Amino acid sequence: MRRLFKASNVVLVLLCLMYFITYVDRTNISSAAGPIKDQFHLTNFQMGLAFSAFAYPYLVCQVVGGLISDKWGARRTLVVCGLVWASATILTGLSMGLISLFAARLLLGLGEGATFPAATQAMQRWVPVEKRGFAQGVTHSFSRLGNAITPPVVAALTVAFTWRGSFVVIGVISMIWIVLWGLYFRDDPRDHKGVTADELKTLPLPEKKRTAPIPWKMLVGRMWPVTLTYFCYGWALWLYLTWVPLFFKTNYKMDIQKSAIFASGVFFAGVVGDTLGGVISDMLLKRTGNLRASRLIVVVGGFIGALLSLLPLFYVRDLTAVAICLSAGFFFAELVVGPMWSVPMDIAPDHTGTAAGLMNIGSASAAIISPVVGGYLIDLTGNWYLPFLVSMVIMGVGAACAFTMPLKKPIPSDA
């Protein structure tokens, strides 16, 4: 029992909760999109703009957030970020129109911009090398769990407290996590009172004092193919997160609660995919000792599987068949996540937060473009399936880009 509750496991649980909460905070708007659209009289294109507002500061803060987390540590970085994103969630519920809604979502993106780079930096110190894929997979699976439960939870909260009240409740929950993280976590495992000597032996501990400058030219050169690959994954992710609830509600004439159930079913497939992708990648690494192959097999397989799973959408219209196709597509896309978030740790062990920020620029860029393009195509053609066709093409590009990722040797400490 003591081994189960060792400090590194508790830290991983806290990070899982953070991923869960941040994705509830960033996707609750899509679950509440129906009543928001009706109250503010918004078009699909305007709703797409509101969806994408989160991503503008989120994009800008990726590298900045990585730098801050490498300098300040994950403890202070996530406390400050948490205060911002929790406040933004509450302010979303107080918005009075498109402009104030857009502004609140901008603030949310500012608060969440450094969270994943900071979390990756924390994992670099608290997770053994051979368990990186699992750690990244399981934390991101909790983000998909957040996606999955957000539609029915927001629907229930909307019925009970209106859509505005649902944002206030979720913002308060975020505040509770901030307190727990600040009290428990320490940037250096050696400074944590609950860590045993045996546990420290398994962790990749940093030097107590390290002032090595960031090798920007080498780091950017190594990471840009990773960023491009992750953009392709992010395109599919944000298409799912922003439009799937409205896809079921509008295309199949459902009420908010029934559409929430179908959207949750799709997102639950991602929970399994995230965890399984990391586990498979770690298993391949253990069996073969080949880091490049263990990452690429899962990443490329995930992209191709997602593409093929969506293909039947253009031949069937049965609700159950469509839901199965979307679920399978999301499952395969999420296989990509665990190995991809391990890559910054593989490439730049001394600058993990910054490297993770560089990679996540890809997803943040997709979060700006994908929802707006999706909304524009739907308004222009009335065809809710067309955005998925675009996503299929981009996932094919992602599979090809994955082969360009430089996964042979990490950047040396004295680079």
CB of 335 within 8 A of CB of 276?
Answer: yes
d(CA 404, CA 226): 8
pLDDT in tens, 157-192: 888 888 888 899 989 999 999 999 999 999 888 888
Given this model, what pLDDT does residue 244 score?
A: 83
d(CA 412, CA 218): 10
Given this model, what pLDDT does residue 384 score?
A: 83
Instruction: Average the pLDDT over 312-328 and give the result.
Output: 89
Instruction: Average the pLDDT over 136-146 and give the result.
Output: 85
Residue type for position 373: V
pLDDT in tens, 103-113: 999 999 888 88
Sign of torsion over alpha carbons 164, 165, 167, 172: positive
d(CA 369, CA 371): 6
Range 251-256 contact pairs with CB under 8 angstroms and sequence separation of 24 or more: 251/384, 252/319, 256/34, 256/35, 256/155, 256/158
86 vs 59: which has the higher pLDDT: 86
Predicted confidence (pLDDT) at residue 245 exceeds the cutoff of 80: no
Give start and end residues of each alpha helix (H) in 252-385.
256-288, 291-310, 319-335, 337-347, 352-381
Please give the domain boundaries of the chain with CATH numbers for all domains.
7-186+218-402 (1.20.1250.20)
CB of 106 within 8 A of CB of 41?
Answer: no
Token representation of residue 22: 């941040």
Predicted confidence (pLDDT) at residue 385 exceeds the cutoff of 70: yes
Predicted confidence (pLDDT) at residue 210 exceeds the cutoff of 60: no
Predicted confidence (pLDDT) at residue 195 exceeds the cutoff of 90: no
Given this model, what pLDDT does residue 208 score?
A: 55
d(CA 154, CA 149): 8
Given this model, what pLDDT does residue 4 score?
A: 58
pLDDT in tens, 214-237: 888 888 999 999 999 999 999 999
Given this model, what pLDDT does residue 294 score?
A: 92
Predicted confidence (pLDDT) at residue 22 exceeds the cutoff of 70: yes
d(CA 85, CA 105): 9
* Residues 137-154: b if buried by 16+ CB within 10 A, e if exposed: bbbbbbbbbbbbbbbbbb
Token representation of residue 214: 């960031």
> Tokens 């029915």 sit at which residue?
152
The DSSP code sequence of 67-81 is HHHHHH-HHHHHHHH
Q: What is the dihedral of CA 349, 354, 359, 362, to 10 degrees?
A: 180
- Portion of the chain with pLDDT greater than 70, in percent: 95
- Portion of the chain with pLDDT greater than 90, in percent: 31
CB of 185 within 8 A of CB of 11?
Answer: yes
Instruction: Average the pLDDT over 72-93 and give the result.
Output: 91
d(CA 324, CA 269): 10
